[in-house]
A and B are shown apart, each in its own frame.
Chain A
Amino acid sequence: MNLLAPLALLGRSVLALLASVGRISLYMLDAISHIFRPPFYPRELLHALLNIGWLSLPVVGLTAIFTGGALALQIYSGGARFNAEAVVPQIVAIGMVRELGPVLVGLMIAARVTSSIAAEIATMKVTEQIDALVTLSTHPMKYLTAPRLLAALITVPALVGVGDVIGIAGGYMVATQNLGFNPVVYLENTVDFLEPLDIISSLVKGAAFGGIAALMGCYYGMNSGRGAQGVGRATKGSVEAAAVLILAANFVLTGVFFSV
């Protein structure tokens, strides 16, 4: 066996990864530029706003309320080990707003929206609907990608905001109903402890994660292979890429906002 074979394999993998990063970066720049250049498709944007924003509310709300409740229980039982049960409101608030709200909403959007966008666009590609768009003088990037990207950039921060509030409400309900916290004091501690930067970071993360989720869905859909297998691979690849990129972006943004 050639001793250099593993190195060659590693080299090929790294080159393939870099090529993918390059292609996705160019796609992203192209997509962003199309948001600002006419023609615009307001009906497509409206449809995307409804699908990505409004229709994601139930899943975001449920995820947030259960997470907020579980977080309150964990902090209470963990805090009890060093007599710090009283910090439940503060830690639920900071945990939801800074970290869990944006990340969980981002991941839920990746699961719900990225997969749906990728499957829809990949199916359109396989059935020649993308070619049909071109022959009908309609740029697929403007008609398919730009409205979805813009809608995600607008709605996902809003969803994160809603998720943060519902998550805190989940913690509040568990803490006041099960753990004996005073409702008024709980809310005062929550409000007093949160800082504007916490909320800003949460919304910025939401925009970034929304952008990633929409872009990955569109990119993988547009570049899908043939047939049902191609659609399946595009869908799976889009969700994997979106989830990993959201977590990586979360790390980077957390560093940018909160590194001392």
Chain B
Amino acid sequence: MIRMENVHKAFGDNRVLRGLTLEIPQGTSMVIIGGSGTGKSVALKCILGLIEPDSGQIIVDGKAAGSGDRDAFLARFGMLFQGGALFDSLPVWQNVAFRLLRGSLKRPVDEARAIAVEKLHRVGLKPEVADLFPAELSGGMQKRVGLARAIAAEPEIIFFDEPTTGLDPIMAGVINELIREIVVEMGATAMTITHDMSSVRAIADNVAMLHDGVIQWTGPVAEMDASGDPYLDQFIHGRAEGPIEAVR
């Protein structure tokens, strides 16, 4: 279980998180929605320790995030970045098997490559892709490779940052389905950040809406449409009118 308690984070005068409290039960898929710049990515990066919160607590399975062995802590996570964040200088299979080629999870090269090819197959990519470089792939293929990398070491917790941004609706649907299948198959705890409501409906067990640095609403995805929360209603229906100020 991941628990964020009263987490605050400011960048200069910009108070991004203003007491964020959120709980993600083990083995469930939480999707965080909210407008641009509301701190969704900051929240996610705070859990991973990429950003240090100013105050508040982040607890992962009963232990404070950042306490203890950092490598062991990070080894429990997989992450799909918004732009893929694939390493340009490495071929696809080495990107996927990155964690398996070095550090505490190191395996023999042949074994690491076999696992990479298997994970590529899992996300619908052929073995020939393994030897290409990221620059030779389309946006959708890069997302799939990023997804394969995120699951390569079979993590207990997987984060997805805007998994469908920049993809056409069909490819977005494919990625959403893949994420859902993989999360269920692995029994992983998942946390996704997205603006894409089709992703929310496809991926989420639970939804949390972040606004003004706090969780405005949270609950099961099935209750989202009938929440009665004016902020959530405005967001999911994409209305310009409502309590969330839209810049025009």
Interface residues of A (CB under 8 A from B): 39, 41, 47, 123-124, 127-129, 131-132, 134-138
B86 contact set on A, CB distance < 8 A: 129, 132
B102 near A135: Cβ-Cβ < 8 Å: no
Query: Are A127 and B83 in contact (CB-based, < 8 A)?
Result: yes
Are A131 and B45 touching (Cβ within 8 A)? yes
Question: Of B72-80, B207-215, B224-232, which stretch is located at the interface?
Answer: B72-80
Q: Assess whether B48 is interfacial by the CB under 8 Å rule.
A: yes
Docked Cα-Cα span, A39 to B79, in Å, equals 22
B-side contacts of A41, CB under 8 Å: 102
**Contact present for B75 and A131 (CB under 8 Å):** no
Task: Identify which of B75, B82, B99, B102 contacts A39 (C-beta below 8 A).
Answer: B102
The proximity string for B residues 169-185 relative to A, scoring 1 for CB distances below 8 Å and 0 otherwise, is: 00000000000000000
Alpha-carbon gap, A3 to B79, bound state (A)? 55
Contacts of A128 in B (CB 8 A): 81-83, 85
Residue B98 CB within 8 A of the other chain: yes
Q: Does B83 contact A39, Cβ atoms closer than 8 Å?
A: no
In the bound assembly, the distance between CA atoms of A208 and B70 in angstroms comes to 34
Cα distance A41–B87 when bound, in Å?
Answer: 16
The answer to whether B102 touches A131, judged by C-beta atoms less than 8 angstroms apart, is no
Is B103 interfacial (CB-CB < 8 Å)? Answer: yes
A226 CB to closest chain B CB (Å) equals 12
Those of B72-116 within 8 Å (CB) of chain A: 74-75, 77-79, 81-83, 85-89, 98-99, 102-105
A-B contact pairs, 17 of them (CB 8 A): A41-B102, A123-B88, A124-B87, A127-B85, A128-B82, A128-B85, A131-B45, A131-B81, A131-B85, A132-B85, A135-B48, A135-B77, A137-B74, A137-B75, A137-B103, A137-B105, A138-B103
- Bound: A87/B194 CA distance, A: 74
Residues of A within 8 A of B71 (CB): 137
List 10 tightest A-B contacts by C-beta distance, closest first: A132-B85, A128-B85, A137-B74, A135-B79, A137-B71, A128-B81, A136-B99, A129-B85, A137-B103, A136-B98
Interface pair B87/A132, CB less than 8 Å apart:
yes
Residues of A within 8 A of B102 (CB): 39, 41, 138
B residues near A (Cβ < 8 Å) are 45, 48-50, 70-71, 74-75, 77-79, 81-83, 85-89, 98-99, 102-105, 149
Closest Cβ–Cβ distance, residue B151 to chain A (whole Å): 13
Contact A132 B81 (CB under 8 A): yes
Nearest residue, chain B, Cβ from A135: B79
How long is the Cα–Cα vector from A41 to B75 in the complex, in angstroms? 19
Whole-angstrom distance between the Cβ of B142 and the nearest chain A Cβ: 11
In whole angstroms, what is the CA distance A128 to B50 when docked?
11
- CA separation between A47 and B45, bound complex, in Å? 31
**B79: A residues at CB distance < 8 A:** 132, 135
- B70 / chain A contacts, CB cutoff of 8 Å: 137
By beta carbon, the residue of chain B nearest A126 is: B83
CB <8 Å contact, A134 and B48: yes
A129 (CB) vs chain B CBs: closest residue: B85
User: B104 near A137 (CB under 8 angstroms)?
Assistant: yes
**Distance of A224 from chain B, by nearest CB (Å):** 15
Closest to A128 in B: B85
Residues of B with C-beta under 8 A to A132: 79, 81, 85-87
- Shortest distance from the beta carbon of A74 to any chain B beta carbon, whole Å: 43
CA A135 – CA B75 in complex, angstroms?
Answer: 8
Residues of B within 8 Å of A135, CB to CB, are 48, 50, 74, 77-79
Say how far B12's CB is from chain A's closest CB, in angstroms. Answer: 14
Contacting residues, chain A, for B45 (C-beta < 8 A): 131
Which single member of B48, B50, B75, B87 contacts A129 (CB below 8 Å)? B87
Which of A47, A127, A129, A134 is within 8 Å of B74, CB to CB?
A: A134
With both beta carbons as reference points, the residue of chain B lying nearest to A131 in the complex is identified as: B50
- Which residues from A are CB-within-8-Å of B75? 137
